[in-house]
Structure formats: structure tokens, C-alpha cells
Amino acid sequence: MTDSDRPPMPSQHAKQRPSEGASRPLSLLGAGLAGGLLALLGGCAQWGYYSQSLSGHLALVRAAKPVTQVLAEPDLDPTLRQQLVLSQTLRDYAITELRLPDNSSYRRYADLHRGAAVWNVVATPPLSLQLKTWCYPIMGCAGYRGYFKRDDALAQAAELKAQGLEPYVYGVPAYSSLGWSNWIGGDPLLNTFIQYPEGQLARMIFHELAHQVAYADDDTTFNESFATAVEQLGVARWMQARPDALKADETSRQRQDQVQALLRAGRDRLRELFQSAASDDEKRAGKAEVFARMRQDYEALKRDQWNGDNRFDRWFLSLNTPALAIQGSYTDLVPEFLRLFDRQGRDWDRFYADVKRLARLPKDERRAQLAAGG
């Protein structure tokens, strides 16, 4: 999913502000591979979880109608009509210009009448940035577990807390089925993200489609960073011919990048602290200081550079160790993928072929080759 959590896309959630607290990870996103669908193909998972995953996904697919059918409705909201038309232009662009899959995904639309597609649960030990992982046959392992009902996600978080872990629950506006759903209509457009501004809607669609291109079954950071790289490259290209949309997108992107830098620095300080020889009590005190500093730095950004823009307030109020850890999976390897794209002559087909090759390698070898240039 988009899974890991990046900070919520402010321009998106400032408009939607769903009561259930859905939050789009930063830079795009989305959301990633939904933990809920992982269990759909993971028969060894507990039956209760398997059942909610299967029924939740099928209900989502059944709720979707072809975009052409929705557009034919005479009383359709004009804003929704405009966004659906834009989505189909973006979908065509993804095929013709970005060489992303040409299939039924994002050709249908569903109003779920809720603020998130799924709710993800992530967790770490209190003094670690190492995410707990859940593993499933076929789909492999992921650092999050998804639920189609928020109460179920909160119950899972409570169980993890009782086990001594630090949990975090966040709403995800979209997820990728990795192409498994194309035979029943594909991954649909959803009310949870269809109203996003043009640049953010493009990021969402490009990101989720990238998950259908390549997937490593044991490496969330590889998968999410690859999809983030595709969304960044794709949106930059899309925006070249749309100066008005580019101008509107630049402020949002700049502020997201500033927050990403702030969070990256916080992760680095925590990583150094957790790996130090300090006592656990000292680490807990140091951890509190790191989070207090991140919030202070954020307040300074709002005050000194953003004219009081509070779009990330909700994210920083709930920020904790697992939220910070999962956020990093969307960005940590992006520079390597961007360099790989350049080394492949900025040719999409060659780039995708190399990423697929890397995804088939053992994790350590995959990371080493990616760092070395593919």
C-alpha cells in the first residue's frame, strides 16, 4: 500500500478532512499495497482476518461503476464530473507516456461513503525503528496490516500495545491489488481521493499503477520507493505542459519536501540514539526530546515560512515511532531509483525491466545492486 505512512497530503486532506481520520502519506501518497488485500491471497492468516479482507475487497469492487456510466448521470455533481474526466486523461497518459499497465484499473468509480479505503496498523518496539512485519503466501511480507473497518484496526493496535509494541493506525485512501483484481474490474477510483488537486490525483494514480509493474515480496521499502519514484517522474513530466497546475502544485510539494526533511532528520537522530550504549531510561528521555524538537521545528516552519499554514497539524499531533518508521519506506530508496532511471536512458521500458530483475533477487543482493547502480 501506500502503505508505511507518509505525512498526510495537506492539500488533499485540508479539503476532505474525513471524520474517520484518513491520512494520505506524503509525496503521494497513498497509499501503497493494502495490508487487507495481502490476506486475501494469504490462506495461512487467521480466518477472521482472511474473511474481512476478502469480503471488504469484494464489497469495494462491487460498489464500483464504469466511469463512462457515472459520467452519463444527468445530475452528477459538476466537480466530480470534472475530476472523473481528469482521471481518465491521467489514466490514458499513464499508458501512453509512462508505459504503465493498460488494464481495467481506474476505469471504474466507487463512493464508499467513508473517509478511507482501509485502515493500516503498523508497530515497532518502543525503542526501535524496526517495523513488525506480517507475512502471507504468494504476497510475501509487509510492515503493515490492513483492515476494512477502523474498529478492527484499533482492536489490532490494542493487542499489539498489550504485547509491548508501540502501534499506529492510519487511514489509507487507496491501495493496489497488484493487478490481481483486473479480472473483476480492476482497482477503482474512490471518493476517498477523487477530489484531490490535479498534481496529487496524478501522483495517486501513477503510484498505485507502478505497484502493478514490479513487486518484491519481502521488501516494503523497495516497493514503495519505486512507486514514489515513478509518481515523481510521471508528475514532473505531466506538469511540463500544464503551467497553471504546476504553479498550484509547487507550494504544496515544497512544503511536503520540507516536512520530509524534518522527519528524515528525526529518524536519523532516533536511529543513532537507539543504537547507542545509553540505558533504556536515557533512550526514552532522548526519544521524547527528538519528538519535541520535530514538533518545534514544524511550528517554526508554520510561523516563519508558511504564513501559519496548519495543514500537517493532525499528523504531528499523532506522530510516534512506528508512524515515523513506516513513512520512511516511501522515500528512503527514491534517490537510487531516480539514478537507475537516468542510467537506463530515461527509457521507461528499460527502467521497468531492470526494476523487475532487481525485485527477483534476494533482498540483500537487490539492495546492494540498487545502491551500486542496478
**pLDDT digits 0-9 by tens, 199-236:** 999 999 999 999 999 999 888 889 999 999 999 999 99
Q: Does the predicted model carry a pTM greater than 0.75?
A: yes
pLDDT at 5 over 60: no
pLDDT interval class at 351 (50, 70, 90): very high
Radius of gyration of the chain (CA): 20
C-alpha torsion sign, points 256, 259, 264, 267: negative
3-state secondary structure 190-212: ECCCCCCCHHHHHHHHHHHHHCC
Spatial contact of 333 and 222, defined as CB atoms under 8 Å apart: yes
pLDDT at 28 over 60: no
- Region of 319 (left: φ > 0; alpha: ψ -120 to 50; beta: rest) is beta
pLDDT score of 225: 94
| pLDDT, tens only, 83-92 | 999 999 999 9
Query: Region 145-154: what's the mean pLDDT?
Result: 93
| Mean pLDDT, the chain, integer | 85
pLDDT score of 52: 82
Of the chain, the percentage scoring pLDDT greater than 90 comes to 65
Taking alpha carbons only, the member of 74, 40, 44 closest to residue 60 is 40
pLDDT at 192 over 90: yes
pLDDT interval class at 29 (50, 70, 90): very low
Q: How far apart are CA 254 and CA 16, in angstroms?
A: 21
Name the pairing type of β-strands 134-136 and 140-142: antiparallel
Most confident of 127-136, 295-304, 321-330: 295-304
Q: Which residue has the cell 477530489?
A: 195
pLDDT at 31 over 90: no
Q: In Å, how far from its chain's centre is CA 175?
A: 8
**Cell, residue 1:** 500500500
pLDDT at 162 over 90: yes
pLDDT at 180 over 50: yes
Instruction: List, in sequence order, every beta strand (DSSP E) within the chain.
Output: 65-66, 108-110, 118-124, 134-136, 140-142, 145-147, 166-172, 189-190
State the angle between helix axes of 78-96 and 220-239 in degrees (0 to 180), rounded to the nearest 10.
Answer: 100
Query: Region 150-176: what's the mean pLDDT?
Result: 94
**Cell, residue 117:** 479505503
Domain limits of the chain?
10-332
